Structure 1
């Protein structure tokens, strides 16, 4: 791709970013406005026009996944030599390279977790801390280190910042001091120490600084509103007084102040660099006008980031929707959390039946403890789900086995795969790892294993669609790069995630749940600034939705409990369209019993428990009268339809749904619509074709 080709297709503001090839540049980019597109095209345009060599560019972001995405996009744009890393990865690379030259001896061992050393430090000062308390103290030590507070300064810093420590400040300061002592004695280095040591090496060894400054002359920092003082110190050291810096961020998405991050570096960028060019991206390509309107209203009712002063108000971004109209956000109030979770699960099931893939639906909550109720509700509704932040995808045994098999397949020859395309080759290999075209019914380990392999198969389909010439070695390379970047493919299940974990992601449908005072804002958000950060967290949740958005809250924690909860203050001035969606008490009791299976088998009358049984309307081992030829015809039709539409067969209809159709042999669309698994979208899309195969055709 040439330089002019890189600029093609950008909107006016994105193009302004791409053409601003000389720093300093500050890009204020709202949610869904294409900031990654803008900055990658800027880097590519600068390298293709000869402004800077690719190897002299350092693009910094906050997650390995985001860094991997940057590298992938830059490769496609013709700038494969650009370094895109996290702050920690870049620092570790430099530290590892220069350590033997300027320090010598064994380098410190990088520790993934502070907990073991914090536990030893706590015991040495006479404290007995549980695992949760240890995590809290470790987080407090991290905050102190990134904000450059030493143990002797910690108590004063807590007082001046209004921070609420998880334990006695004197105890935490003692643990912090001993932690640092033990870490040095054991030659260990935590992530904060890694950044500090990199800064020290650069400042104390001019020859190292010269080499780094010569290597990297062009800097881009994404998510600049999340930079903390220690990261800013390292960035300044890398810059060495130069101005070739482009920063990108959204003050409306500042949600990590509790970790030491501050939006002041983004908001005050024009003061730090008076000749900086400031460009705003406000065209929202992600969400419908209805979602964007709500997001603008919610953030507009707040005071803005930081102090809420004139600087914050001046930099506030009001999004402009670019998509066509969609449904209005839906607000629901429930008697209790269980009723809320049950109805959200029902609505997820309905969306899936209407054709929305499960992986394009998310349920977002403020704290992880809210997850369990939704896991139970989704399981009872037969809806697959994925917990974000659980086991890493590429570390799952079935995924490791599949990658090994795929890698081996690139080295050998297989007569069976001769002439096959990428999709068929990948599926052929995955069949050997236990993959099937249709998922096992129900939840559990077998379903989780299948979904992992299905995600790899789907990734191959996506890759083949983007690059028809791609072959198995290209796919394996993609998997290896994704594994290194922890960039997992989407799993076929509804995502359950905290609002913090959802940042940077998006779905077709989002349910924001538990919107009550004490949860959002969280109960310990006591100061105005802390409450405003909770508002921004709410805003982040809203802007994850492309089209469907549900907002809900419950007046009691458990069924029959006191209904003393109040809806979140962030809903005030937003809507009066609230639907009280909890059934009457008698109906509630009946519906709860339904979880354990009140639907009787139409053959023997036994209560049905498994989702597949409820779909069939009978026990799996009860005799059923159905036309085997019809079931065979339905499966053949499904295979052909899935191939034509390039989707997995189960997305058309599951085996259980086809069997239910064959057993009931519907004669009209109305009868077909009564079968579980046949929603309105599928009825419109496939109804006539199915009836043509049945007795009603």
Structure 2
């Protein structure tokens, strides 16, 4: 590709970035403005015009997936050979290479998770904590290390930063001290220590620094608003006294300050590099004008915090779309039920389930939405922290597929094609056409394998001639980039986990004071970071965005909650209830929470409301009916190619088996059996309950 061809199709601001090929450059890039396009074209243009050789470029990203995407784009642009890595991957590569020369001996083992070592340190200090507390203490140690605070000055740093701790500050400091002692005794190295050691090697060994700086002369750092002090130290060590550095970031998307990240490096770039060229990317190609206007309205009200002093106002480039929806509910159950209904309606209107997301502030909010989506017959995917290609079942499946490809398994499928081949290989790892009942580890394993099977279908649709070797090559490329195949279902994710992703439709739920902003956000900086979280959530949406809140936690509870302050001036604070909602509110006003049908205690837990009783209260269960219901559900799920829980959850089937409803009204009174389920399944379920054979 000719150099001028690389510039074709860029908007004026993106072109300005691409042509600024020398010296310090700061790109302030808003959400959806094509920052990856701008920086990849900049690197390619510099390579094709002879400004820099590709092997002299180091592009630093924050995820392996982003690094893989950069490499793939640069290859297509005619600039292969550029190194694109995360801070940790680049540091590990350099440390491993120079270790025999500058240190010698057995290199330390890298630990990917601190929790085990933190647990050992706590026991050595004679302190007892649960796994969640240990996880929080591990996060505190990470924060201390990236912000360069040692155990002896940890307590003072915590007080200065006004951090909320999972335990007494003195206990955390003791565990931190013991953690470092055990780590050194066992010759272990955590990710922060790896960066520190790389900086030390570059600082103390001039010949190593000279070799690294000879190798890498041209730097690009993405998501610069998320750089922490330790990463900045490493970047400075790489740079030395040079200034061929391009940084890209969005101060409005600074949401990781609690981990030690600081937007000050992005916002202060021109102070450190007075001759830097600054380019703003504000043309939003992702979202409709209605979504963009809402995002601008939220971030435009910023009143404090470091990032709030410089605002990028997005300019929409897409045609008009629907207006944002604001919805107020009496309680969280009603909110979850209606969000599930709206999601189902979008799917019925043609929006793929994988293009819908429900985003919340904390992971504990997901349970109500899992239950509501299952009751509404909507498949969902819970986005967790575990990386897809690191799951044991996925590793096993890839090994099996790789072995089958080497053995020429394509020839053994009698021409049935890639899809049948992959499904046959995956069956050896436990994959079945029929999803398992219930949730938990078994369900999670099946969903992982189902995602691989779905990916085979997608590849076969794009390229009917593709065989198993091509499929395995695609898997290995995706694994290197941590590019997981999409699962078919509505995504449930926290706002933090949603950063960097996008969907056609986004539901932002639980927008009440105490949740967003979170209750422990007290300082102006902390409050403004919570505002930016909402901004990030809004800018994930391409077309549809719904913002909702509930005035009470539980049905019949006191309606004392207030909508998030971030919605003031943007949303009506009251809404006109639909007839169904008004009827539901009236029932709750007159009756209060649903009582246990055994002991009469008010029921608040989702599973108890479905059963109609306390979990520990005795009930008459028709076990034969429950078995028959599960067999019928499995058959329906297989015929419709949907997860079993989408038909009815285990809790709903148990409630049916306990109550043995004989009429449509009896069945409709069971929580989890809504209008959609009645229309689809009432006849066969009632037939089973009365001892007949369902049609």
Q: Which band: TM-score by shorter chain?
A: 0.7 to 0.9
Residue of structure 2 equivalent to 1:473: 469
Listed as ranges, the matches of 1:15-54 within 5 Å are 15-54=15-54
Residue of structure 2 equivalent to 1:327: 322
Residue of structure 1 equivalent to 2:101: 101
Deviations 1:329-373 (A, max 9, x none): 111111111111111111111111221111111111101111111
- Report the more deviating stretch, 171-180 or 579-588: 579-588
Q: Distance in 2 between matches of 1:472 and 1:117?
A: 41
Q: Distance in 1 between matches of 2:465 and 2:6?
A: 22
Structure 1 residue 509 and structure 2 residue 505: aligned? yes
Residue of structure 2 equivalent to 1:62: 62
Residue 342 (structure 2) aligned to one of 339, 347, 359: 347
1:617 is displaced (CA, Å) by: 3.8
Q: 1:622 to 1:168 in 2, by over 3 A?
A: closer
- Report the more deviating stretch, 228-237 or 606-615: 606-615
- Report the more deviating stretch, 454-463 or 517-526: 454-463
Listed as ranges, the matches of 1:430-441 within 5 Å are none
Aligned to 1:373, the other structure's residue is in SS state helix
1:394 is displaced (CA, Å) by: 2.7
Aligned to 1:65, the other structure's residue is in SS state helix
Aligned to 1:508, the other structure's residue is in SS state strand
Q: 1:558 to 1:101 in 2, by over 3 A?
A: same
Residue 554 (structure 2) aligned to one of 558, 582, 598: 558
Aligned to 1:522, the other structure's residue is in SS state coil
Residue of structure 1 equivalent to 2:683: 618
- Report the more deviating stretch, 279-288 or 400-409: 400-409
Aligned to 1:333, the other structure's residue is in SS state strand
- Report the more deviating stretch, 184-193 or 6-15: 6-15
Q: Distance in 2 between matches of 1:181 and 1:446?
A: 39
Question: Contact 1:7–1:41 (CA<8 Å) still a contact in 2?
Answer: yes
Q: Distance in 1 between matches of 2:73 and 2:495?
A: 26
Aligned to 2:330, the other structure's residue is in SS state strand
Q: 1:274 to 1:565 in 2, by over 3 A?
A: same
Q: Distance in 2 between matches of 1:46 and 1:105?
A: 41
Q: 1:175 to 1:402 in 2, by over 3 A?
A: closer
Question: Contact 1:362–1:494 (CA<8 Å) still a contact in 2?
Answer: yes
Listed as ranges, the matches of 1:83-482 within 5 Å are 83-303=83-303, 305-306=305-306, 308=308, 312-313=309-310, 316-389=311-384, 391-396=386-391, 399-411=394-406, 412=408, 414-415=410-411, 451-460=447-456, 462-463=458-459, 472-482=468-478
Deviations 1:638-664 (A, max 9, x none): xxxxxxxxxxxxxxxxxxxxxx9xx9x
Listed as ranges, the matches of 1:64-83 within 5 Å are 64-83=64-83
1:599 is displaced (CA, Å) by: 12
Residue of structure 2 equivalent to 1:497: 493
Deviations 1:18-72 (A, max 9, x none): 2221131111110011111111122222222222222211111111222222222
Question: Contact 1:263–1:305 (CA<8 Å) still a contact in 2?
Answer: no
Q: Distance in 2 between matches of 1:334 and 1:114?
A: 41
**How large is the Cα RMSD of the aligned pairs?**
3.2
Q: 1:578 to 1:21 in 2, by over 3 A?
A: farther
1:374 is displaced (CA, Å) by: 1.1
Q: Distance in 2 between matches of 1:47 and 1:508?
A: 36
Deviations 1:252-293 (A, max 9, x none): 000011111110100111111111111111111111111100
Q: Distance in 1 between matches of 2:126 and 2:431?
A: 53
Aligned to 2:683, the other structure's residue is in SS state coil
Aligned to 1:511, the other structure's residue is in SS state strand
Q: 1:83 to 1:538 in 2, by over 3 A?
A: same
Q: Distance in 1 between matches of 2:412 and 2:497?
A: 43
Q: Distance in 2 between matches of 1:494 and 1:439?
A: 17
1:119 is displaced (CA, Å) by: 2.5
Q: 1:11 to 1:466 in 2, by over 3 A?
A: farther
Question: Contact 2:410–2:467 (CA<8 Å) still a contact in 1?
Answer: no
Q: Distance in 2 between matches of 1:120 and 1:341?
A: 40
TM superposition score normalised by structure 2: 0.82
Q: 1:337 to 1:101 in 2, by over 3 A?
A: same
Aligned to 1:26, the other structure's residue is in SS state strand
TM superposition score normalised by structure 1: 0.82
Structure 1 residue 531 and structure 2 residue 527: aligned? yes
- Report the more deviating stretch, 253-262 or 385-394: 385-394
Residue of structure 1 equivalent to 2:637: none
Count of paired positions = 620
- Report the more deviating stretch, 115-124 or 487-496: 115-124
Q: Distance in 2 between matches of 1:255 and 1:190?
A: 23
Question: Contact 1:288–1:321 (CA<8 Å) still a contact in 2?
Answer: yes
1:556 is displaced (CA, Å) by: 1.0
Q: Distance in 2 between matches of 1:186 and 1:575?
A: 56
Q: Which runs of 5+ in 1 are unaligned?
A: 624-659, 664-697
Aligned to 2:367, the other structure's residue is in SS state helix
Q: Distance in 2 between matches of 1:83 and 1:396?
A: 27
1:455 is displaced (CA, Å) by: 3.0
Q: Distance in 2 between matches of 1:47 and 1:466?
A: 32
1:421 is displaced (CA, Å) by: 7.2
Q: 1:460 to 1:223 in 2, by over 3 A?
A: same
Q: Distance in 2 between matches of 1:182 and 1:67?
A: 33
Q: 1:99 to 1:401 in 2, by over 3 A?
A: closer
Question: Contact 1:254–1:536 (CA<8 Å) still a contact in 2?
Answer: yes
Residue of structure 1 equivalent to 2:518: 522
Q: Distance in 1 between matches of 2:263 and 2:466?
A: 42
Q: Distance in 2 between matches of 1:4 and 1:470?
A: 35
Question: Contact 2:292–2:316 (CA<8 Å) still a contact in 1?
Answer: yes
Deviations 1:411-435 (A, max 9, x none): 3164466878766765676678777
1:17 is displaced (CA, Å) by: 1.4
1:131 is displaced (CA, Å) by: 2.2
Q: 1:220 to 1:424 in 2, by over 3 A?
A: farther
Aligned to 2:248, the other structure's residue is in SS state strand
